[in-house]
Amino acid sequence: MSKVSETSVRVRYGETDQMGFVYYGNYALYLELARTELIRQSAWSYKQLEAEGIQLPVVNVNMKYKKPAVYDDVLHIRTKIIGEINRKICFYSEIFNAQNELLLKGEVELVFMDKHLKKVINCPDIIKEKMKPFQWS
């Protein structure tokens, strides 16, 4: 059975807009936090990937806002990998509040890139194996 990475974050005052809601652009930061934690839970880290000469630039983001988060909410983010891991990797996340209400669904697609050649590459097999437990088909 595939695993889901779970992480939480508390909304800070500076992340809200004049209406008191989390500013829409900050959800991308929450999704970044979630995928960073998933990678860490798979026994890797962005720092290790970059030390190996691999970068993961974002090439596509899709977010569906369902309900706003507000200051001091504790957000719970569930993340998994969807689709095949080849030259790209796609993270799917859902953000919930403390009442377990769905606030956002988001997908972030990244490509594996050689840091020195600035060229898209295939995901190394060792990384693919480490991330496999979080992969949903």
Does 17 qualify as catalytic in the annotation?
A: yes
- pLDDT of 46: 86
- Complete domains list, the chain, with CATH: 5-136 (3.10.129.10)
In tens, the pLDDT along 8-46 reads 999 999 999 999 999 999 999 999 999 999 999 998 888
For residue 110, which phi and psi values (nearest 5 degrees)? -125, 160
What value does the mean pLDDT of the chain take?
A: 95
Which one is predicted more confidently, 113 or 137? Answer: 113
Q: Which of 17, 72, 73, 114 is catalytic?
A: 17
- State the average pLDDT over residues 47-70: 95
Place of tokens 């990937």: 49
Provide the pLDDT confidence category of residue 69 given band limits of 50, 70 and 90: very high
Q: Give yes or no for residue 1 having a pLDDT over 70.
A: no
Residue 2's pLDDT is what?
A: 83
Residue 119 has pLDDT above 90, yes or no: yes
DSSP string, the chain: ----EEEEEEPPGGGB-TTSBBPTTHHHHHHHHHHHHHHHHTT--HHHHHHTTEE--EEEEEEEE-S--BTTPEEEEEEEEES--SSEEEEEEEEE-TT--EEEEEEEEEE-EETTTTEE-PPPHHHHHHHGGGEE-
